[in-house]
Structure formats: C-alpha cells, structure tokens
Structure 1
Amino acid sequence: MAGITGFGGYVPRLRLQRKAVVEANGWFNPALAGLAKGERSMCNWDEDSLTMAVEAARDCMGETPPADLRSIYFASTTMPFADRQNATVAATALNLGEDIRTVDMTSSQRAGTSGLIDALENAEGRDGTVLFLAADTRETAASGPQELQMGDAAAAFTIGNDGVIAEFLGSHQVSTDFVDHYRGQNRSFDYNWEERWIRDEGYFKIVPPAVKALLDKTGVAGSDVDMMVMPALIRGVPQRIAKGAGIAEEAVQDNLHAVMGEAGAAHALVMLSKAMQNAGPGKTILVIGWGQGCDLMLFRTTDAIAKFKPALGGVEGYLGRKKAESNYNRYLAFNDLIDRDKGIRAEVDAQTALTTLYRNRKKVLGFVGGKCTKCGTVQYPKSHICVNPNCGEWKSQEDYPFADEPCTVQSWTADGLTYSPDPPTHFGMVTFEAGGRLMADLTDVDKGGVEVGMPLRMVFRVKVEDERRGFKKYFWKAAPDHRKTAA
C-alpha cells in the first residue's frame, strides 16, 4: 500500500511580532488590537516559496535522496515564476538529476492537499518514490487583518510503497466554486469576503458531508481518529466539525496561528508534518484542505514512524529556532510594500545571461564542485586542472556536491557600503570539512553575531532579483548551523 515514507518542514527564522504591526497601524484600524498577540513567520529578504521548499526537502530527505526518486511535485500559490517551471529549479538545486518528472500545482489554497492526493494515488502500485513539496509566502496589504494572520512556511513528503511510515487509507474531494477569497490576474493581494458567510455557508455546509463520505468509504469511525489536521482562520471551525463527526476534541491539532500564522496552500501539510513528529505507531490522522471545496485524506501510522526523524529538526525544530522581529519597517521592506531610496550603489543592471546559467546550472543551482580522481582533492568551482599544487592533473575531476558539506567561517566582513536589502552585507571565506573553500555571502546572521570558527551550513537563497525583467537569481549562501550552535 502506498503512503508517506518521510516528512519534513521549514519555517523561516524571523518572527514578526504582531504587537509591532498593531502599534504601527492601530491609528488607522483600531480593530487590529484583537489580533495583537503572538507572532507570524516572515521570510528573510533572500527567501521565497522556492527556497523554503528546497529547505523542507532537505529536512525530509537528509543528505541522500531516495535512489528510486522519479517525480517531484511543487504546490504553491506564490511561485516566483509564472512561466518557468519552479519544480525543475527545485530539482536542480537538490541534485535530483534530469530523468525525473516535475510538476507545478497552483491557483488554489487546495493546491497542497489536492497535489498530495494526486501524488499518493499515482504512487499506488508503481515503483519509485515521489517527492512532494508545498510552500507559500502570501502577500497582504499593509494595515489589514491578513497581514497579522498569514505566515511563511513549507512542508515536504516522500511517497512510495516501501518503508511506509503512514499508510494512505483513502481520500475524498469536493469541488464547488465557493469563493471565500480570490486573487485576480496581475494582482498582488487577496480580496476577502465576509467571515460569517464563509463559516456558515462554506465550512459548515461543505466540509461535514465530505468528512462523513470519507469515513464511510474507509470504514473508519470518527471516534477512531486520533489526530485531525484542519487549517481555518475562523476560530472554532475545526472543533465544531470534529464534534459533528464524532471526533474527540483533543484530536484537533493546534493550527499554529499563534506561533507562525497560516502558510496558505502549504499550511495543512505543515500541520501534518508537525503532527507526524508527535505521532507514534498506529495513529489515525485525518487531513482536511479547504478552498473552492475541500480535500480529505486519511492516514494510519506504522511501526516505522518511530525510527524516522527529520534531518534538520522538522517543523517543531524550526519553530523553536527563531528571532523575534519587532521592526515593522523591515517586514514592509522585505516584502516590497514600501518604495525605498536604495541609493546609487543599488543601480546595477542585474540581467542574467540565460545561456551561461544553463551551461553552469549544476554549479550554480546545484552547488556542485569537483573531486580529483587522482589525488582526492575537492574544490569549488570544478575546473579542468586540479588545484592541488602537488597534483595539477588535467581533466581528472568528477562531480562533488557541496550543499551538505559542513563548513566554518575562516574570515568575515560586515560591509556597510555595498548595497544590501538588510545592511550590513555579511560575507567571508568559508572552509569545508572535506576540503575546498569559497568566498560566500552569509545569511540569517545578526550584526555582531559572526565569529571565526562558527559552524555553518549552505542554504539555497535568492542572490539578487532583476526587478526590471522579473527574474530571480538563486545561489547558495552560508548560514549558522543551528544543529551545532544549539548544542
């Protein structure tokens, strides 16, 4: 039977304090005071849905992707490219090879759950593993309630028939054009409808019959559901639906709104990933996705779940690794919600030579260097001549991936003159345990928080955005290795 064979997640380090948003906008919208508690996750200036999805995948798969990986799905309503397949970029960054099926799924808050159902059903009875990614960074207008309610995050799952940690028991889907919100073409923000209408005519009339249909189809009683995952911004909705289905109130999982907000199409799967971190064997998990109808999935964990641990700490680990952000202007700037005078130093044409990017895609996106087959020296970038002065062999190098190699700071600089969306610009010489070094940008670091010898790990981030042409350049940066700094 097909099912989930691995899971992971990612939540950005920065957490915007909702109190800071209310203090800035309360003069205009006093009603925001009711949403002032807690915090929401926010991407760093060099993060987006694609970079978060890559990190979630690394958390799920660790350093070694399944050898039989044959497909990658990416679900999001905030993909960086409208016409360039985003799943292909993720596959290249993860060094999954080019003999792989890649699929983008978008245009609905159900993209994550609908896509996961599709991946699960396609995996049944077939050989090979599927990687499913979901991420969202929903833009919101300043001073509105959605600004406080939303959050940025990603989730990842591997799906297959062998080594299943959560069996897929079945699914049920309802498609109906009930519009609780929408975002039109070439619009940045959602248009939201009235809450009571959404609750009474939407959730309470569409979801309960669907839950009953799934439970009847699978032969599972509501009282047998141990965990129920259902995102809903409207308070009390999951609890009432659970009660109507005979599901215990304590089975309803925390929606994470107090600690990160709602991550759009990824949120149900972020909640599922977190639930699986706390689920022992034999637990029945109901997942409900919402948006122009609803998706429902039922899983039962196996004994194998006790042995699985996300490589980078999972959703729980990332929720615990955080920095409180009380500068509301930084949030506005990172999300391009204000026009800033960036100065003359920012006036550089950032056009990408697409031919060069294609020829160097493994080096740039996959962060692949070289290893000399004669002396064993590793280096980045790969070259025709080995850099070992005692070797110098010609065309002796094979591909060597650096993305998961541990590294440390050898030297560093905080540059206040070079333009950066979040000055000062931190960069330095990074040395890898396996050998090799690189002058790299540092990210997720604070002023005064870098020191020689600091443990680092490489992360896939936005290098620069060509705003004139709407093209994002991605590369790898060095970030503090929270697994080692926490220890």
Structure 2
Amino acid sequence: MNEESNEFGLLATTRYVPRLRLERGDVLAQHRWMAPGLKSLAKGRRAMANWDEDSVTMAIEAARQLRTASPGTAVAELTLASTTLPFAERLNAGIVASALGIAPDAVLRDTASSQRAALTELAAALRRPADTAPQMLLASERRIARPASTQEMIFGDGAAGALIGRGAAIATLVASASTHADLVDHFRQTGEDHEYGWEERWVRDEGYMKIAVATLRQCLKDGGVSAGDVTQFAMPAPLARINDAVAKKLGIAPAALVSAEHDSVGDLGCAQPLAMLDIALRAAAPGALVLVAAFGSGCDALLLRRTAVPCPGPVPDEGRAETSYMKYLSFTRQIDLAWGMRAEMDNKTALTAAWRDHARASRFEAGRCSACGTVQFPRARLCVNPECRAQDTQAPTYLADTPARVMSHTTDFLGYTPDPPFQFGHIDFEGGGRVLMEFTDTDVGELEVGLPLRMVYRVKEFDHQRGFRRYFWKATPVRPAASQASPASTTGAR
C-alpha cells in the first residue's frame, strides 16, 4: 500500500449521460423560420433523457457507477443536488437510497436552488475531519427549456457524482473559497418549468469577471499557489469565451481549460461542475493542481491535487443520435399528442400498497429457497419448484445487479407507451430467476434470444392527475463500455 492509498479525499468521480443525443441541427430546422439566430448554437448534439428518466433515475445510475468504482464502501451520508427534483415534498434522496440498498441509519438530504449547490456540498464534505464516514454526493438535472430558446440548445440532461472518504484517494483538497451574492443572472419561479435569464454579457462582466474571479483568486491565495501552477481549470459558463476571459485575467494557461463537452452533451446544470471535475481528474497527471468552480448566486471554488491513484470507472459513450424534435417535445410534455383510448387510464397509486411492496419495487427483491436454491420473483411463502414446494424458506436476494439474458421478447405497436413500440419479454437471470419485464433504451430489431442485459431503475408510470410517479427496474441491452482513458484534448471549454 503506497503513501497515497489511505488519504482522505475524493475516492471516485463519475458522470452519467442518457443514451439519446438530440441533434441540434434538427432543433434549428424547426425554429429557423422565427429564430434564425439559433444557428450559432446548432452544432453537435445535446443529451436527452428518455421518457422514463428523471433526475432521480439518472442519479441512481451515477451512484451505481460510483459503487462499482469503489466496491465495499459503506455510505454513511448521501446528498442529492438538483434544481429539477421530481418531488417538492418527498425526500428524493430517499428514493435513491432505497434503490441502492443504503442502510436505514444513513443521513440523507436533498439540496437545490442553485447550480453551484453540488460543488458547495463537495467543498463542505472535503473540509470535514479526515475520520468522517464515507459520503456520496450526487448531482442530477433534467431541465426543460422553452422551445426556440438558447437554453433549449445549450441544456443537456445527465448526472454526476463523487465519493468522499478515506482510502485510495484520486485527489485531495488543497484549498477552497466561497462567496455568496444575490446577483440574479437567471431564475425560475416555483412551479414553473422554464427559467428566465438576463443579458449574458452583463452576467459575464458583473458576475464571472468580478465575483467568480475574486473567489478564484482567494482560493489560489489560500492554497499558496499561483494561477500558472494550475494544469486543469474547470468552470461551467453560459458563453463559450467566458472561461478564456476568466483564465486570462487570473493568469491560468489557456491549455488548462477543461472541456465542457458542449458539442456532444450540453450543460448539465447543477451536475456540470462535478462532470467537468471528472473530466479534469481523468486528464490530470499525478501531482497536478485542479481548480474547479461553480457560479450561481455567488461562487464556489475548489483547488485539488491529483494523486497517483488511477481514476476508476467508465466514461460516457457517444450514445445514439435522436433526430425527432417532436419526440423530445413529447418526452418533456411540451406537446400533447393524441395517443388514443389505450392511453386513457387512471394511474392512482395506493401509498399503503406501495409501502408494503417497497422492497420488491425499490431493490428488485426476489426470494431464494434455502432448501433447494430456486430463485423466484416475487418472493413468496411457497417455493415454486414443483420438486421442493418448501414453505417459509425464502431468503431475500436482489436482482438489480445480477446479469441476465433475453429468453423471449415481444414488440407491440398497439399497446400504449410514451416511446412506441412497447417491448417486453421474459428475462433469465444468472444463478436463477425468470421475470416478465419491460425493456428500455432498446432499438427495434435489436432484441434477440440470449442477448445480455442489465437492469436500470426507471419511471414505470406517471400519475399526472395527482403529480405522482412510480419507479421500477427495467432491462436494457449491455453495450460495450466506453474507454476509461483520459480525453485526448482538454480544450474547448464553455
């Protein structure tokens, strides 16, 4: 065990991006008649959540990646940061913790209201005593922009996360600084989907060039380093050249600017600082100084030193191009399509029944017979094995992380789903267990018997009348993981 393998700091970082990537050119094609100025923003793609993804489900995917990157770490605290949490009065972090099987005595919290909320929490976590129990920080965003707005082009959906504790740290804290300022560059009233933003050059001159620069200078001063020593500088910004101007004013080398992946993903809002931090750490050499900042109602800045421990976990792949702007509008409920009578159903959730069924739905709990080893879902008092039929021998076992394969599949163009066709089938789990369940993120013609699958936590149904949503696990094909290598270039920041 080397000297760096038992330090307090960042144990892992990650980012999750939905598979669908909306082509900005197709968005422009629908608005060119009235907003031709969007052409300057119409390059590349932006991440687009599927209809059954929200800030909770994407946070869960990021959390699962963190667990894979740092196996065996028992999380004592979990924080979920987002400005688009699905519930205003329900602990959204509790949904995440239930899906992950985090211990009931863990401390959970939601944090919102600012795009720098996640970095504020990360700074607070890293400033805690070194013997603090492991903490998981997740940031996730699914923002809805008004059609034909610049935000519609700039925004992207996705999540990022960080694991903080003592162990094989990939980075340690050198210094931090924070400034609060009620400078309103944009805002969104409670209950509204769309935000309202002020003139971007004013935000640059009064916000970034004054408040952010001062905060970053203080952070560098507290760390006892000069701006020229920084090799990775990550800061989300609404205009492409703001980072350049801030870096130049501070004396940070242009080569240190970290890519915001604008052309392939877009701005992830509250999750963007953590996502850019993940990019920066994967590109940084051992001993390098990484400076990350987030602006919004003030500014937070963190100065970290990269260790020699490799960054664990995968990076997002290129996803699948989506050219249907109408699909995007439908998924975000900004257009009301005529789905027919099959879509007319009352999805009222009995909360008492939901609680009784909690373990099955949140953790994909099955039963394993202690007498014969048969796995069955759902768990029951009687073993389904006709040669056993033992009673009260079912020990809980969880299928969420168990590899599976397609046993049979059906593609239904008549049954209602927000993303037709409706695809479902029987799944065989490794080690036993067979379940009839729904597929998601699956192309028509992709399914075949024996295809490897993994489970993902998604929205099962919406109750739009009462504002509730039910979650459950779905199956999706296992696709080749993206390379874990550092990005070839760290330039092109926003």
Give 1:442's aligned residue.
Answer: 439
Partner residue, 1:382? 379
Q: Could you tell me which residue of structure 1 aligns to residue 190 of structure 2?
A: 185
- Provide the C-alpha distance between the structure 1 equivalents of 2:482 and 2:38, rounded to a whole number of angstroms: 37
* Shift in alpha-carbon separation, 1:470–1:78, aligned structure 2, 3 A: same
Q: Which residue of 1 aligns with 2:478?
A: 481
Matches within 5 A, 1:249-264: 249-264=254-269
Q: CA deviation at 1:390?
A: 2.5
**1:391 and 2:388 aligned:** yes
Q: Please list, as runs of the form range in 1=range in 2, the aligned pairs for 1:121-132 lying within 5 A after superposition.
A: 121-122=127-128, 124-132=129-137
In the alignment, structure 1 residue 420 sits paired with structure 2 residue 425:
no
* 3-state SS in 2 of match to 1:241: helix
Residues 379, 483 of structure 1: alpha-carbon distance in 2 compared, 3 angstrom cutoff: farther
> Using the alignment, how far apart are the partners of 2:429 and 2:245 within structure 1?
53
**1:9 and 1:60 in contact (8 A); partners too:** no
Identify which range, 364-373 or 400-409, moves more after superposition: 364-373
Q: 2:309 aligned with 1:309, yes or no? A: no
Residue identity matched to 1:462: V
Matching residue of 1:79: 85
Letter paired with 2:30 = A
Unaligned runs of 5+ in 2: 1-6, 484-494
Contact 2:116 2:273 in 1 (8 A): no
CA displacement at 1:66 relative to structure 2: 3.6
TM-score by length of 2: 0.94
**Structure 1 partner of 2:39:** 33
Distance between the aligned counterparts of 1:19 and 1:483, measured in 2? 27
CA-CA distance at 1:222 after TM superposition: 1.3
Which range is displaced more, 158-167 or 429-438?
158-167
Q: 1:8 aligns with which of 14, 17, 31?
A: 14
Question: Partners of 1:36 and 1:101 in 2: how far apart?
Answer: 43
- Which runs of structure 1 show a deviation greater than 6 angstroms over 4 or more consecutive aligned residues? none
Which residue, 296, 320, 325 being the options, matches 1:323?
A: 320
Among candidates 167, 170, 177, match of residue 165 of structure 1: 170
**Given residue 309 of structure 1, which amino acid in structure 2 is its aligned partner?**
P
In the TM superposition, residue 331 of structure 1 has moved relative to its aligned partner by: 0.6
SS for the counterpart of 2:407 is strand
1:127 CA drift (Å): 3.7
1:2 and 1:88 map into 2 onto residues whose CA distance is 26
* 446-455 or 78-87, which deviates more: 446-455
C-alpha distance 102-485 of structure 1, shift in aligned 2 (>3 A): closer
Is residue 370 of structure 2 the alignment partner of residue 373 of structure 1? yes
Cα distance, 1:273 vs structure 2: 1.5
- Paired residues of 2:259 and 2:279 also in contact (CA < 8 A): no
Q: In 2, are the aligned partners of 1:455 and 1:485 still within 8 Å (CA)?
A: no
Q: Distance in 2 between matches of 1:295 and 1:468?
A: 39
3-state SS in 2 of match to 1:69 = coil
CA shift for structure 1 position 64? 7.5
**Identity among equivalent pairs (%):** 42
Shift of 1:223: 1.6
For the pair 1:95 / 2:92, whether they are aligned, the reply is no
Q: 1:201 to 1:477 in 2, by over 3 A?
A: same
C-alpha deviation, 1:118, in angstroms: 2.3
In the alignment, is the contact (CA less than 8 A) between 2:258 and 2:279 conserved in 1? no
Task: Indicate the residue corresponding to 1:265 in structure 2.
Answer: 270
> How far is 1:67 from its partner?
4.4
**Alpha-carbon offset, residue 239 of structure 1:** 1.6
User: 1:95 touches 1:362 (CA, 8 Å); kept in 2?
Assistant: no
Q: CA deviation at 1:484?
A: 7.4
1:148 corresponds in structure 2 to 153
Match for residue 226 of structure 2? 221
CA RMSD of aligned residues (A): 1.6
Aligned to 1:282: 287
Contact 1:8 1:155 in 2 (8 A): yes
Q: Secondary structure at the match of 1:303?
A: coil
Structure 1 contact 9–57 (Cα < 8 Å) conserved: no
* 1:367-407 CA-partner distances (Å, limit 9, x unpaired): 12122223222222211122222322222222211111111
Q: Name the SS of the counterpart of 1:337 in structure 2.
A: coil
